[in-house]
Amino acid sequence: MSEPIHEDERFMAAALRLARHNLGLTSTNPSVGCVIVKDGAIVGRAATAPGGRPHAETQALAEAGERARGATAYVTLEPCSHHGKTPPCADALVAAGVARVVVCILDPDERVAGRGVVRLREAGIDVDLGILGEAGERVLEGYLMRQRNKRPHVILKLAVSSDGMIGKEGEGQVRITGAISRAQVQVLRAETDAILVGVGTASADDPELTVRLAGLEERSPIRIVLDRRLELPIESKLVRTARDIPLIVVAGGADIPSPRPRGEGPRRADEGPGGSDSPLSSGLTRGPALSPHAGRGGDYANRRAALEAAGVEVLCTDTISDLLTALASRGISSLLVEGGARAARDFFDADLIDRILLFTGPAAIGESGIRSPFERTSVPPRFTLRRIARYGDDIFEEYERDTGCSQA
């Protein structure tokens, strides 16, 4: 007999909390949560382990042991049905004698795509679908975007002064928001696969782009710098920490010599002299060109060699769209764009922003400020305000792209 709906929602909510806990740690696999329930009590629980294995279901079943027989399993994503580096989770649920499986979201991976549910039902297991589906879409949004649209889910974070500025000319990092907002950004970084800035921001601010909250230091995301001429200083904090925390420098375009094949990679013009308004390269259909093919020859080759000797990975491609495709092919499901103004504008021009997190501080910067691409009164109409909150003296607003505007 089926569990009451409110019980299903309660236990699925617990599974979603588990899944959220390991966001940013499980690439290339999604972070999945699973709870095993017997006689109204949780007897096994797990999330996908860091690195993507073991899967949530097998860990939860191991904790439940014999108590899994006749139990109900709540899983945030359809159990896999294919043989990869681990056996199918659907088979593990069957072998454990689970009587019922409640699934939040069907897996769009073409290797699964409903086959996990079919396998369970063929074994006589009762399967219910779609419990807390909207919440599940949110927790799994990065993975779902990567599977459905072949790119990461892109979040733009902006800290804007009361007069619409994101910084001050020639002054490097300027604190616009308070401690609570900055802590929220650290949590966001910890849940994200990769973080991106332009070379102007990287050079002016000399950030590390790491997670600095106590206990979460090991959750720093992959760092990405858009730098078509490879101008990132070799003595920067980003380069000096590249052997400890991965750093990708995205250098375009297609005709610049490549010392060694590294797969994909793009680069987009960010702050700094010489913006990127070049036409698209032949065969590309979307997004501003990442490079006017500057920086050819020995200087470029020497800069690249120096960066790579320091442990930096250099990728080459021509458009932001290509960059996102390249990142998705590496299993990167979520990308946080943190700056600066040019990087934000270029992602908007390519229509490849899915969520905007806007932190507005109480102080003004004045005439020497760097103007934000937009502020509270000028968010593009294709985005809908989903949440507003106060963090101390700051105003936080979260905007999501309207579903009908979602881009591949």
Ordered DSSP codes for 27-73: TTS---EEEEEETTEEEEEEEPPTTS-S-HHHHHHHHHGGGGTT-EE
Domain total in the chain: 2
Task: Give the pLDDT mean for 209-223.
Answer: 91
Task: Give the pLDDT mean for 209-219.
Answer: 89
Q: Domain for residue 223, yes or no? A: yes
- Cβ–Cβ contacts within 10 Å for residue 398, how many? 16
- Our CA dihedral for 318, 321, 327, 329, rounded to 10 degrees, sits at -100
More confident residue, 404 or 54: 54
Positions marked active-site? 57
**Which of 41, 24, 87, 49 is closest to 33 using CA atoms?**
49
Shared domain for 201 and 287, answered yes or no, is yes
User: What tokens does 379 get?
Assistant: 């968010």
Q: Which residues are annotated as a binding site?
A: 55, 80, 89, 159, 189, 201, 205, 209, 212
Q: Domain for residue 33, yes or no? A: yes
Q: Which residues are annotated as a binding site for Zn(2+)?
A: 55, 80, 89
Question: 313, exposed or middle or buried, with CB in 10 Å at 0-12, 13-18, 19+?
Answer: middle
- The pLDDT value given to residue 402: 86
Going by pLDDT thresholds of 50, 70 and 90, the confidence category of residue 277 is very low
Q: Domain for residue 106, yes or no? A: yes
Q: Domain for residue 301, yes or no? A: yes
Nearest-5° Cα angle at 376, 345 to 157? 50
Contact 14, 25 (CB under 8 A): no
- The pLDDT value given to residue 404: 57
- The pLDDT value given to residue 71: 98
- The pLDDT value given to residue 390: 97
pTM (two decimals): 0.84
What is the C-alpha to C-alpha distance for residues 108 and 100, in angstroms, rounded to an integer?
22
What residue type is 222 in one-letter code?
I
pLDDT tens, position by position, 152-179:
999 999 999 999 999 888 766 788 999 9
Q: Domain for residue 144, yes or no? A: no
Shared domain for 192 and 290, answered yes or no, is yes
What is the C-alpha to C-alpha distance for residues 248 and 234, in angstroms, rounded to an integer?
13
Shared domain for 78 and 124, answered yes or no, is yes
- The pLDDT value given to residue 207: 94
Q: Average pLDDT of the chain? A: 86
What is the C-alpha to C-alpha distance for residues 346 and 198, in angstroms, rounded to an integer?
10
- CA-CA-CA-CA torsion sign (106, 107, 113, 114): negative
What is the C-alpha to C-alpha distance for residues 61 and 326, in angstroms, rounded to an integer?
35
Shared domain for 232 and 337, answered yes or no, is yes
What is the C-alpha to C-alpha distance for residues 260 and 311, in angstroms, rounded to an integer?
14
Region at 24 (left for phi over 0; alpha for psi -120 to 50; beta for the rest): left
- The pLDDT value given to residue 265: 35
Shared domain for 128 and 217, answered yes or no, is no
User: What tokens does 244 get?
Assistant: 């400890």
Shared domain for 76 and 195, answered yes or no, is no
- The pLDDT value given to residue 215: 84
Q: Select from 114, 139, 164 the last residue of a domain.
A: 139
Q: Domain for residue 384, yes or no? A: yes
Length of the chain: 408
Whether residue 8 has pLDDT greater than 90 = yes
Shared domain for 175 and 284, answered yes or no, is yes
Q: What is the CATH number of the domain that holds 275?
A: 3.40.430.10
Q: Domain for residue 326, yes or no? A: yes
Shared domain for 12 and 121, answered yes or no, is yes
Shared domain for 98 and 187, answered yes or no, is no
- The pLDDT value given to residue 28: 86
| φ, ψ at 226 (rounded to 5°) | -85, 115
Domain enclosing residue 113, as ranges: 5-139
pLDDT tens, position by position, 326-355:
999 999 999 999 988 899 999 999 999 999
Shared domain for 381 and 305, answered yes or no, is yes
pLDDT tens, position by position, 239-267:
999 999 999 999 986 434 433 333 333 33
Q: What is the CATH number of the domain that holds 80?
A: 3.40.140.10
Shared domain for 243 and 181, answered yes or no, is yes
- The pLDDT value given to residue 218: 87
Sequence-ordered list of residues with C-beta below 8 angstroms from that of 395, at least 6 positions apart, any chain: 359, 360, 376, 388, 389
Q: Domain for residue 49, yes or no? A: yes
Q: Select from 139, 173, 188 the last residue of a domain.
A: 139
Q: DSSP labels for 206-252?
A: -------STT-GGGPPEEEEE-TT--S-TTSHHHHTTTTS-EEEE--
Strand runs labelled E in 99-199: 100-105, 126-129, 153-160, 165-168, 194-198
Shared domain for 273 and 307, answered yes or no, is yes
- The pLDDT value given to residue 376: 80
What is the C-alpha to C-alpha distance for residues 272 and 287, in angstroms, rounded to an integer?
20
Q: Select from 109, 139, 169 the last residue of a domain.
A: 139
Whether residue 271 has pLDDT greater than 70 = no
Going by pLDDT thresholds of 50, 70 and 90, the confidence category of residue 110 is confident
- CA-CA-CA-CA torsion sign (95, 98, 100, 104): negative
Residue with tokens 């779609």: 130
Question: H or E stretch including 185?
Answer: helix 179-190
